[in-house]
Amino acid sequence: MLELANIGVRFGGLQAIDDVSLSVAAGEIVGLVGPNGAGKTTMFNVISGTVRPQSGSLRFDGHDIAPLPAYTRARRGIGRTFQIPQPMHSLTVTENLTVAQRYGTGRVDARALAEILDLVQLTDHASRDAATELSLTELKALEMAKALATKPRILLLDEVLAGLEANGKRTFTQLLADIHRRYGLAILIIEHDIETISTLCPRVAVLNFGRLIADGTPDIVFSQPDVVASYTGMVAHA
């Protein structure tokens, strides 16, 4: 479904992404992990169209999407959330979702919106609360709801669990599993919590200093010495 081949992104003197190839199949959940500054969010920006890579190819459903702007990619089925939630804060929760659905899918379907609100447990806030009045957990739920309203076929989730307490993480992990089961969409998720990633994702890819250093099942990937070293900062000894 999503195929990135030999992607390279350079910001001035910094090689943020270095020759990374990664693919995500339809309906697959893939965890994207790595230490801070590894290039994970840059990868999301490349896929969603916010950042243009200097090299490599980017295909979605077999089509070259590299020349397409971000809004067209969203309409083609690439939904994303932001690490720091970016609600349209002067709009109500429903209006946030209405914009996403209207422009992401070309029409407004009130029943589908109600279903999404119910799924992310924001129904009670639908018409009364502006997005600025939401708690962090609710803002993260709104981020996901906005992405879901565009009817994506792949969902890019950028640290949706960050900043949540243990209960919140469990609730969200269950929510992600529900979303995956109900909509059957592919999910690429950035997350630092190894336990959550191991529970949720049958496959994990690891970035370090812009390079892909591992890609496989969680138990194999997280036992690789260079992956451990990338997190601990210790030199790997084979």
Q: Which is nearer to another protein, 47 or 227 (CB)?
A: 47
Q: Which is nearer to another protein, 61 or 226 (CB)?
A: 61
Q: Are 48 and 104 in contact (CB under 8 A)?
A: no
The distance of closest approach from Cβ of residue 69 to another protein in the complex, given in angstroms and rounded to an integer, is 8
Per CB under 8 A, the segment of 19-27, 55-63, 65-73, 212-220 that binds another protein is: 65-73
Among 15, 23, 56, 102, binds another protein (CB under 8 A): 102
> Binding string, 82-101, against another protein, x = CB under 8 A?
x---xxxxxx---xx-xxx-
Give the count of residues interacting with another protein (CB under 8 A).
Answer: 50
CA distance 9 to 101: 31
> Binding string, 13-42, against another protein, x = CB under 8 A?
------------------------------
The distance of closest approach from Cβ of residue 21 to another protein in the complex, given in angstroms and rounded to an integer, is 24
The amino acid at 5: A
Q: Which is nearer to another protein, 6 or 72 (CB)?
A: 72
Q: Which is nearer to another protein, 50 or 198 (CB)?
A: 50
The distance of closest approach from Cβ of residue 203 to another protein in the complex, given in angstroms and rounded to an integer, is 24
The amino acid at 57: S
Mention every residue, 6+ apart, whose C-beta is less than 8 A from residue 151: 77, 79, 101, 104, 105, 112
The distance of closest approach from Cβ of residue 169 to another protein in the complex, given in angstroms and rounded to an integer, is 9
Q: Does 150 bind another protein (CB under 8 A)?
A: yes
Per CB under 8 A, the segment of 16-24, 27-35, 130-138, 196-204 that binds another protein is: 130-138
> Binding string, 177-206, against another protein, x = CB under 8 A?
------------------------------
Q: Are 103 and 71 in contact (CB under 8 A)?
A: yes
Longest dimension (CA), the chain: 58
CA distance 213 to 209: 9
Judged by the rule CB under 8 A, the positions of this chain that interact with another protein are: 48-50, 69-71, 74-75, 79-80, 82, 86-91, 95-96, 98-100, 102-105, 108, 120-122, 124-125, 128-129, 133, 135, 137-138, 141, 146-147, 149-150, 164-165, 167-168, 170-172
